[in-house]
A and B are shown apart, each in its own frame.
Chain A
Amino acid sequence: MKNTKKRDLILSVALGAAVLLGLTYVDRNMRYSMLASVIQKGSIYALLAVSLNLLNGFTGLFSLGQAGFMLIGAYTYAVLTIPVAQRAGVYQYFNGGALTFALHPVLGLLLAGATAVVFAWLVGKPCLRLKSDYLAIATLGFAEIIRALIQWEAFGPVTNASNILKRFPTFESILTPVLISAGCIALIVLLINSSYGRAFKAIREDEVAAEAMGINLARTKMQAFLTSAFFAGIGGAMLAMFQASVQAKAFTSAMTYEILLIVVIGGIGSVTGSVLGSFLYIACSEWWLRFLDDAQTYLHVNIPFMRGGFRMVVFSVVIMVIVLFYRQGIMGTREFSWQGIVSFFARLGGKSEKKAAKSDG
């Protein structure tokens, strides 16, 4: 049995270095290209997908409130970090707003996650003991309630009510979101591989059996819920930084559905799948498949059905096909491993060898 650990380590370090070099190159020369945009948004959605997967895939709690936590994270970050000099301009209808200080972006990010955790605790206390279907609707409803609260005129001095929040610190380089995401995802993976993660999986498999084995259902579910909300809050704050502006109206249940679909495409229960699925989804929807929305002439014949909106229809059909026929998604429950890649290529090589042998014999 070969010692694969050393090989794996070398390969991982090499891959990491290559990725960092590649990103630095893109950052220097193609800062505003679509590739840069896809890399940033893809890594943000990767974190969001993994946070949802933690809840849905690893713990089996069907929650549809992700957009609500993202919204809280985004607004907390934006509200706390707008430079004091800009506040009067942004809070134009509320006399400069209620806050007169601005925090450092890193502190803003952490507080974004923390605020999301507080709200998650408030929501989780009553809702986590509901049946899975009711939990879905309750969390969906909670996201709706949060949106209405933030848009309320009475909170205007803090949230700017219906108006956009902008001028807060954004990403200087594309490495920032990638590194933050990678760090958070690494934390989540550590959590999943620990005893807490095993408790989550036990609940997913069979709640009654888990309880019989001594796992405190309510507490463990709350842990999963809070962790997921924390990272969703950070993801929301990063999304705000990426977009350079944030408005409550955009954080609808459609956003949660998007993330859910990314999780499904990647494979419920696979972190690698969520990351892959996220980049694939963002690249396709923002970049590669945009041409579906424009009138195309193919050999001087106008293809009649390609116009605005076609891209989303194609998307929805692909998603339905995946949900119906490829329920495992891309990765199923498997994770990334060098051994997996090596054996994949070995199998391919083995197949062609076997075929050659057959045709000879």
Chain B
Amino acid sequence: MKKAISILLSVCLLCVLLAGCGGSSGGSAAPAASSGDKVVKIGVFEPTSGQNAAGGKKEILGIEYAHSLYPTVSINGEEYAIELVTADNGSDTAKAPTAAQLLISNDVSVVVGTYGSGCAIAGGEYFAKAKIPAIGTSCTNPQVTLGNDFYFRVCYIDPFQGAVMANYALKEGCRNCVVIVEAGDDYSAGFGNYFSEAMLKEGASCDTVTFQTGETDFSTIMANIKSKGYDGIFAPVSIETAPLIINQAREGGVDCQIMAGDTWDDSSIASRAGANANGVFFSCFFDQTDEANAAGAAFVKGFLEWVNADPARIENNGGKDNGGDVAISSVTPCGYDAYMAAYNAILKAQSTDGAAIRDALAGLEVKDLVTGDLRFDENGDAVKNYVAIKTFQDGSIVFSDAYTG
């Protein structure tokens, strides 16, 4: 019996290793150009598994769509094919370094990503050491770029977002808020902190409640909130926890205003929370119904066509919402813009060397990207003054307001 199993295992292992040798040495690559062509590699540093997988997959779609529009770049008169190398950071700050090393060992010239500030901070240390520039997509925690010369980002940062949300809360009449924060998550803790600070600066009061990762029971927290009579809940938490908080708040008799940040821009929250989510509003990077944004409208049209062409892409985008349409999450344009920033930087640097591309990024200016014009400040953060506020309505996400300051 043992012998049979040993032989079977060895045969399986052999087959599997042979198959592996056929594939690439690690990260998966989009169909590469035939050998002999020049290739420049862009690393895609995103979570495709774990807590943040939903957001990561949507950003990858944005990156892949941009790649389909701009698959080659011209350096010193020669056409270089752009190859995407993906590494999954598993939404885990312990796995992020290995994913980063995977990209570095694959000789990428520039990295795009990630969704989830914790992983960006963890991986960023490696990119800086290997002197490879990275362009953050939707990681909003300031720690990602602070002190790291090689990390840039195309989105706004949490101090800005926190102040905007606090302003909104005060506008809605919430003067006594509570912030629900996930322990161990840089994004959640940081964002909650900035919202809190902004509220306190305006003279309102703001308390914080922390829960452990993986917690599903918020009924006690809600009972606590009800008894203390808060008039606003701010919950910068993950997509998975969001419906739990919304549902248990309403079921527990808590009917104050609920607010959140960019992580809540996901149709699965709308469908799982249903009517309970009506009136909840959150901040995000992009609004697909905004007529004034010409680049945005073009992006929406092209992206929808591209996604609908392949059922696998629809699946990765979160399926279809209640109206039978494909929703565009606001992190997808972030992926698109980050790729475009990388593309333009390579073009400007006219080189595949990481350090040269980094210098090109520092002074880069690109007009009319999906989320607006792009320019980096001295920390590597994008200079953005646009925040879209969206809300849930009967199972779908609807644009509510915009903040431009």
Contacts and interface: CB of A to CB of B under 8 A. Distances in A.
A243 B20 CA distance: 27
B287 to A, nearest CB: 30
Contacts of B193: 93
Nearest to A156: B189
**In the complex, which range does the number of interface residues on chain B fall in?**
35 or more
B94 interface: yes
A212 B27 CA distance: 58
A164 interface: yes
A32 B126 CA distance: 9
B118 A164 contact: yes
A318 to B, nearest CB: 8
Nearest to B183: A151
Contact of B183 (A41, A162, A170, A291): A162
Given A166-B125, A295-B28, A148 B147 contact: no
Interface in A273-300: 286-296, 298
Nearest to B122: A245
Given A34-B25, A321-B5, A250 B88 contact: no
Nearest to B102: A34
A313 to B, nearest CB: 12
A156 to B, nearest CB: 9
A89 interface: yes
Contact of A162 (B17, B28, B181): B181
Nearest to A314: B16
B93 A161 contact: no
B19 A291 contact: yes
A290 B87 CA distance: 10
B351 interface: no
Nearest to A89: B147
B19 A296 contact: yes
A164 B93 contact: yes
A293 to B, nearest CB: 7
B212 A148 contact: yes
A32 B101 contact: yes
Contacts of B335: none
B110 to A, nearest CB: 15
Contacts of A318: 9
B121 A34 contact: no
Interface in B143-182: 143, 146-147, 181-182
A309 interface: yes
A290 B17 contact: no
Contacts of A295: 28
Contacts of A294: 23, 27-28
A153 B93 contact: no
Given A164-B186, A167-B147, A292-B16, A33 B122 contact: no
A244 B98 CA distance: 11
Interface string B5-33: 10001000000110110111111100000
Contacts of A250: 92-94
Contacts of A249: 93, 183-185, 213
A242 interface: yes
B232 interface: no
A345 interface: no
Nearest to A290: B26
Interface in A140-189: 148, 151, 153, 161-164, 166-167, 170
Contact of B190 (A32, A41, A93, A326): A93
B88 A308 contact: yes
B136 interface: no
Interface string A128-148: 000000000000000000001
27 contacts: A32-B104, A32-B126, A33-B105, A34-B102, A37-B101, A89-B146, A148-B212, A162-B185, A162-B186, A163-B186, A242-B97, A244-B97, A245-B121, A247-B184, A248-B184, A249-B184, A249-B213, A250-B93, A287-B26, A291-B19, A291-B20, A291-B23, A293-B28, A294-B27, A296-B19, A298-B22, A308-B53
In order of increasing CB-CB distance, the 8 nearest A-B pairs are: A249-B184, A244-B125, A250-B94, A294-B28, A162-B189, A291-B20, A245-B122, A32-B104
Given A37-B98, A303-B19, 4 more contacts: A164-B121, A247-B94, A294-B23, A308-B53
Interface of B: 1-2, 5, 9, 16-17, 19-20, 22-28, 48-49, 53, 88, 92-94, 97-98, 101-102, 104-105, 118, 121-122, 125-126, 129-130, 142-143, 146-147, 181-186, 188-190, 193, 208, 210, 212-213
